[in-house]
Chain A
Amino acid sequence: MQAARASAAARLADMGLPGRRDEYWRWTNPAPLLAEAVPEAEAFRVDTPIFSDLPKVRLVFTDGVYDAAASDDPKLAGVEVARLADAPEWAAGFYGSLEASGQSPVRRPFAALNTARASDGVMLRVTGKAARPLHISYRQSSNTSEAILHHCVMLEDGAELTLLETGTAAARANLVLEVEVGAGARFHHIRPQGRSYGHRLVSAIFARVGAGALFKSFTLSMNGRLTRNEAMIEIVGDNAVAHIAGAALGDGADGEFHHDDTVFVTHGAEGGESRQVFKKVLRHGATGIFQGKILVRPGAQKTDGYQISQALMLDDLCQFLAKPELEIYADDVKCSHGSTTGAIDETALFYLRSRGVPREEAVALLVLSFLADAIDEIDDAAIAAEILARLQEWLARHRG
């Protein structure tokens, strides 16, 4: 583990911290993520935490520190659970390995920094079908807390796990998740990020998806002053499926909202299917960024790659910047991407109102309609229903 941290520190020293001149940091200013003093962010009080009624094993981190008293007994059939500090041998070898290989072709300084300095995290080895979802629940109690958390998930061949990751980790957080999905394994990740208005977050998912395996990750972002969610997903075995989706909602009336999804999907094997579905709902001067790439390596024939990024602007003051990229070195592939920016469809709005649905409610329905493709990426109906309920709650708070 010490070796992994040391080599990450060396990587970081080598590549340096990100600046506005970096190609993938042109639209998002990394300075607040690097500032010595943590910018203040008030914690968001939630009446009923999401997924309250769902059977699960919950591990709580408060301001970036594992909170045993608030957590469930970390015992789950089919899963070996350990803390970063007590990392078992497999984890010591795995920790930082996907982050290291994910540094090329684009450098990810925050992730290297995370590997070097992470203070806590969960190490999960999934040996079978997990009996219940594992839930990493973040809580923020201090307005100036900082968290650097690093989680590792190793799914052995044929194993299955649903990982829930919820809440605001700290006023400022740097989160890394490394996931190895073995042959025929299935991994579902659902991540409603915390709703504090002021938090600043940089996160990175590094995943390797093996033959016939499934990787699906869905993120819901509501509020947050600065969010940079990166995902580096590599298909390494034939006929694997990798889907990554995000729904982000921001209202500048609550304070600044800047949300950035930066995704890199690599097809390194045959017959892979990848989907990137990213939707942003922006109001009152909110800003959305999407940088998404599909790289098809030589020999990755029969690849089916898809990417869509869309913004719905609820007024004229918002901004959406998108940079879709395809880089293809195989000839027998199907890849497409699209990006759109639009307002509420007036015809649809009139249709709903003509049926008696008041304007505000009709707008909310059309926002849900806009987000539907992203929410459809959640396979579990009960989880999708909870996400939908949160969306409706947000929309009800942000009317007029």
Chain B
Amino acid sequence: MLEIKNLHVKLQDEDKVILKGVNLSVGAGQVHAIMGPNGSGKSTLSYVLSGREGYEVTAGSATLLGQDLLALDPEERAAAGLFLAFQYPVEIPGVGNMVFLRTALNAQRKARGEPEVSAGDFLKLVREKAKTLKIDAEMLKRPVNVGFSGGEKKRNEILQMAVLEPRMCILDETDSGLDVDAMKLVADGVNSLRDAGRSFLVITHYQRLLDHIAPDVVHIMADGRIIRSGGPELALEVEKNGYADLLAEVL
């Protein structure tokens, strides 16, 4: 599904190098987790994959279903099936959640040569997906993320994911700042989307999310590289001992 090879990234306007040769291969239907200390480059990886400006890829490649991601505009990547649940979802005053979602869905469909979804069908679709995430009608009417609590914002990200039905989902610290109930809602939302044709890259600090979303592979990222990969037991090890031992090993 997602193939990242030797990815090197620096900031466009500065000499700072952030990713120093990331290799990652996520198979169809798999869930991979990335853990790692603050500042190790996890968010940068997710931004570079989704096409945010301000970064320069100096070496390496990233493909989604064989397509060169790095050559595409952000909207083209979305239409190709990539989705990033933001660590800090953005507030957009004056643009209703529903208008935003419908614009996004129809733009993607148009880009793929599919017919647009009618207003009626769209409403039905969103209502159904929102129910599982306990997102009420009032929240759907409000402007995008404006006045949402931290938990509501994260649930709204998962709602967008559920409606847009991407192939490759990247979740950047979607669990941060959530209480246990909210995290469970998010995890249930993700689990309901798990499918043989859909993969996940879950960036998290905590083992507890991985209790709910069982990963196939766990990676540890430090200083712009993946320093270890393993099974779910690796997350447990981090939970118990922190990153110090792992970091010491590679240094």
Contacts and interface: CB of A to CB of B under 8 A. Distances in A.
Contacts of B73: 353, 358-359
Contact of B74 (A347, A350, A371): A350
Interface stretch (A94-102, A161-169, A320-328, A361-369): A361-369
A2 interface: no
Given A350-B52, A361-B107, A355 B94 contact: no
Contacts of A376: 94
Interface residues of B, number: 29
Interface in A370-398: 370-373, 375-376
A370 B94 CA distance: 7
B95 A365 contact: yes
A166 to B, nearest CB: 24
A369 B94 CA distance: 4
Interface in B81-95: 83-84, 86, 89-90, 92-95
A194 B75 CA distance: 35
A12 B53 CA distance: 57
Given A358-B107, A359-B73, A365-B103, A351 B78 contact: no
Residue in B79, B83, B95, B108 with the greatest tally of chain A CB atoms within 10 Å: B95
Nearest to B52: A350
A356 B108 contact: yes
Contacts of A347: 90
A353 B86 CA distance: 13
A361 B103 contact: yes
B53 A350 contact: yes
Contacts of B83: 354
Contacts of B108: 356
Interface string B35-62: 0000000000000001111000000000
B109 to A, nearest CB: 9
B204 interface: no
A368 B111 contact: no
Contact of B104 (A346, A348, A357, A369): A357
Contacts of A355: 78, 100, 104, 160, 164
A351 to B, nearest CB: 4
Interface in A301-358: 346-348, 350-358
Interface of A: 346-348, 350-359, 361-362, 365-366, 368-373, 375-376
8 contacts: A351-B90, A354-B51, A355-B78, A355-B164, A369-B94, A369-B143, A372-B94, A376-B94
Given A350-B74, A354-B78, A356-B105, 18 more contacts: A350-B51, A350-B52, A353-B51, A354-B52, A354-B86, A355-B78, A355-B100, A355-B104, A355-B160, A356-B108, A357-B103, A357-B107, A358-B111, A368-B95, A369-B92, A370-B94, A371-B94, A372-B94
The 8 A-B pairs at the shortest CB distance, nearest first, are namely A372-B94, A356-B78, A356-B108, A353-B74, A355-B104, A351-B90, A369-B94, A353-B75
